[in-house]
């Protein structure tokens, strides 16, 4: 079981979480509980680091002390939840990353898990003790505290579940499942009862916030079923949530499972880049070095002969950094001008059914064209189509696509119609 920051925001919420843990323990299940820092706590600790003058880019990446400082947030929560379970008469203990030990590489601030020896914690759980684990943290080869980066507690939970051979990894959050689209945009959005790892991975990578990409990748690799559940449901009457599992375990399958909007996108266009080998490579090396993740890329002919315009999208949070490093390298790259556009949104349509059903793309393009929405950019995978459009049309596009793919109807609905 994993509980995020809003689920453990204060002592009252921790008590509510304890009731959910109690339900599982009372049902005779061995339980490991991974917890995040209390909501707001990580920000408070990051702010202390910033006050010291730790420059922002280093914060997410390199610094060992930053890791030692922010990891205390989870340490406090795991201690408090273990204490609560003890008060309720259960055997429970907290486990810090170094105590398991959850071994990571040395990439501080975004460390990757290398190994979780399951003997010590597995034995404790088998003996009936509830293991309360600090998420987001591990220990590096040099025995320093290493944090796993954004969403790291989900990753901790999935990796631990795989290591101890858990039947499921239940991610408790402030929503009651994965939805066909953002319910704030489309009130007919439907909770998806079951979805495949592949689809969930695409959803996470195009911007669905409910789960982090790395945790889904890991669950898929180890075939550990994930459940997304609400920690705000009554402990004795939990909702069914969303099960994320192998595609083969899903009987009723829509062709399209979800329409996922990403509002915080941005585009940079470099004009009149000399059309020579190595220029594009130079651009994307510079951006990768600055830790900017690039998504859609389009190259189009420039008015200037022998030159091309290159556009690419990224998260809006990264555009200032991207612009700054590109301008520094303007001479080497050789572009004449740089244009930014922050008023763009990426709308993605996701479904494993696309593999076997043609026409998904044409429905998408026709639906958007009928509403007069211009597509600036397209990218696809085997089970996903993403389009970049103007921000102001984003909600209209989501509603139109949700309706076009009949996502308001239960799975199998489209097949039967």
Residue 3 vs 98, nearer CB to its own copies: 98
> Closest distance between its own copies and the C-beta of residue 31, in Å?
17
SS3 labels along the chain: CEECHHHHCCHHHHHHHHHHHHHHHHCCCCCEEEECCCCCHHHHHHHHHHHHCCCHHHHCCCCHHHHHHHCHHHHHHHHHHHHHHHHCCCCEEEECCCCCCCEECCCCCCCCEEECCCHHHHHHHHCCCEEEEECCEEECCCCCEEECCCCHHHHHHHHHHHHHCCCCEEEEECCCCCECCCCCCCCCCCECCEEEHHHHHHHHHCCCCCCCHHHHHHHHHHCCCEEEEECCCCCCCCCCCEEEECHHHCCCCCCCCEEEEEEEEEEEEEEEEECCCCHHHHHHHHHHHCCCCCCCEEEEECCCCCEEEEEEEEEHHHHHHHHHHHHHCHHHHCCCEEEEEEEEEEEEEECHHHHCCCCHHHHHHHHHHHCCCCCCEEEEECCEEEEEEEHHHHHHHHHHHHHHCCCCCCCCHHHHC
- 23 or 144: whose CB is closer to its own copies? 144
What is the C-alpha to C-alpha distance for residues 355 and 358, in angstroms, rounded to an integer?
8
Tell whether residue 79 is a contact of its own copies (CB under 8 A).
yes
Using CB under 8 A, pick the residue from 43, 61, 65, 285 that binds its own copies.
65
Does 22 interact with its own copies (rule: CB under 8 A)? no
User: Residue 79 or 274: which CB sits closer to its own copies?
Assistant: 79
Residue in 160, 147, 169, 167 with CA at minimum distance from that of residue 74: 147
Binding window for its own copies (CB under 8 A); candidates: 58-66, 315-323, 327-335, 359-367: 58-66
Least distance to its own copies, CB of residue 48, Å: 6
**396 belongs to the binding site for its own copies (CB under 8 A):** no
CA atoms of 159 and 296, how far apart (whole Å): 30
- Please tell me the count of residues contacting its own copies according to CB under 8 A: 35
361 is a contact residue toward its own copies (CB under 8 A):
no
State which residue, 74 or 198, has the beta carbon closest to its own copies: 74
Binding its own copies (rule: CB under 8 A), the pick from 29, 40, 43, 48 is 48
Interface with its own copies by CB under 8 A: which range of 41-49, 184-192, 259-267, 354-362? 41-49
Only one of the segments 45-53, 162-170, 267-275, 376-384 lies at the binding site for its own copies (rule: CB under 8 A); that segment is 45-53
Q: Does 33 bind its own copies (CB under 8 A)?
A: no
Report the alpha-carbon distance of residue 409 to residue 189 in Å, rounded. Answer: 9
Q: Check residue 13 for interaction with its own copies (CB under 8 A).
A: no
Note whether 19 binds its own copies by CB under 8 A: no
Is the CB of 193 or the CB of 235 nearer to its own copies? 235
Q: Is residue 53 at the binding interface for its own copies, with CB under 8 A as the rule?
A: yes
Shortest Cβ distance from residue 118 to its own copies (Å)? 16
For the bound state, the minimum distance from the C-beta of residue 83 to its own copies, rounded and expressed in Å, comes to: 4
User: Which residue from 163, 166, 148 is spatially nearest to 213, judged by alpha carbons?
Assistant: 148
Q: Does 75 bind its own copies (CB under 8 A)?
A: yes
Nearer residue to its own copies within complex by CB, 64 or 375: 64
String of contacts with its own copies for each residue 312-351, x by CB under 8 A: ----------------------------------------
Q: By rule CB under 8 A, what string of x and - marks binding of each residue 122-161 to its own copies?
A: ---------------------xxx----------------
- Residues near its own copies (CB under 8 A): 11, 14, 45, 48-49, 51-54, 63-66, 68-69, 71-72, 75-76, 78-80, 82-84, 86-87, 93-94, 96, 98-99, 143-145
């Amino acid at each position: 079981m994993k509980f995020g920051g809003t689920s453990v925001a204060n002592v009252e919420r921790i008590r509510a979480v304890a009731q959910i843990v109690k339900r599982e323990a009372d049902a005779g299940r061995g339980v490991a509980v991974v917890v995040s820092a209390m909501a707001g706590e990580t920000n408070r600790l990051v702010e202390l680091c910033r006050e010291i003058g730790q420059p922002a880019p280093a914060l997410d990446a390199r610094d060992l002390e930053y890791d030692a400082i922010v990891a205390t947030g989870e340490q406090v929560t795991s201690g408090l939840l273990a204490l609560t379970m003890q008060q309720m008469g259960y055997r429970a203990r907290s486990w810090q990353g170094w105590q398991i030990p959850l071994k990571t590489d040395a990439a501080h601030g975004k460390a990757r898990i290398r190994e979780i020896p399951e003997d010590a914690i597995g034995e404790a759980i088998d003996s009936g003790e509830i293991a309360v684990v600090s998420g987001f943290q591990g220990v590096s080869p040099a025995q320093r505290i290493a944090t796993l980066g954004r969403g790291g507690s989900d990753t901790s939970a999935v990796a631990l579940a795989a290591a101890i051979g858990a039947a499921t990894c239940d991610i408790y959050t402030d929503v009651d499942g994965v939805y066909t689209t953002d319910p704030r945009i489309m009130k007919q959005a439907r909770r998806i009862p079951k979805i495949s790892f592949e689809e969930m991975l695409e959803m996470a990578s195009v911007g669905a916030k409910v789960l982090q990409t790395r945790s889904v990748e890991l669950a898929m690799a180890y075939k550990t079923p994930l459940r997304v559940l609400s920690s705000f449901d009554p402990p004795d009457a939990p909702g069914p949530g969303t099960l994320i599992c192998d595609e083969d375990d899903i009987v009723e399958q829509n062709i399209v499972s979800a329409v996922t909007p990403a509002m915080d996108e941005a585009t940079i266009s470099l004009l009149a880049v000399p059309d020579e080998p190595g220029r594009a490579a130079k651009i994307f090396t510079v951006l990768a070095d600055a830790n900017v993740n690039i998504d859609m890329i389009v190259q189009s002919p420039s008015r200037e002969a022998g030159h091309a315009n290159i556009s690419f999208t990224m998260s809006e949070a990264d555009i200032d950094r991207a612009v700054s490093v590109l301008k520094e390298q303007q001479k080497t790259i050789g572009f004449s001008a740089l244009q930014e556009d922050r008023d763009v949104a990426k709308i993605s349509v996701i479904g494993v059914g696309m593999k076997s059903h043609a026409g998904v793309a044409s429905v998408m393009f026709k639906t958007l064209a009928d509403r007069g929405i211009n597509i600036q950019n397209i990218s696809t995978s085997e089970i996903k189509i993403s389009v970049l459009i103007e921000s102001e049309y984003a909600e209209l596009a989501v509603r139109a696509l949700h309706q076009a793919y009949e996502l308001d109807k239960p799975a199998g609905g489209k097949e039967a119609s």
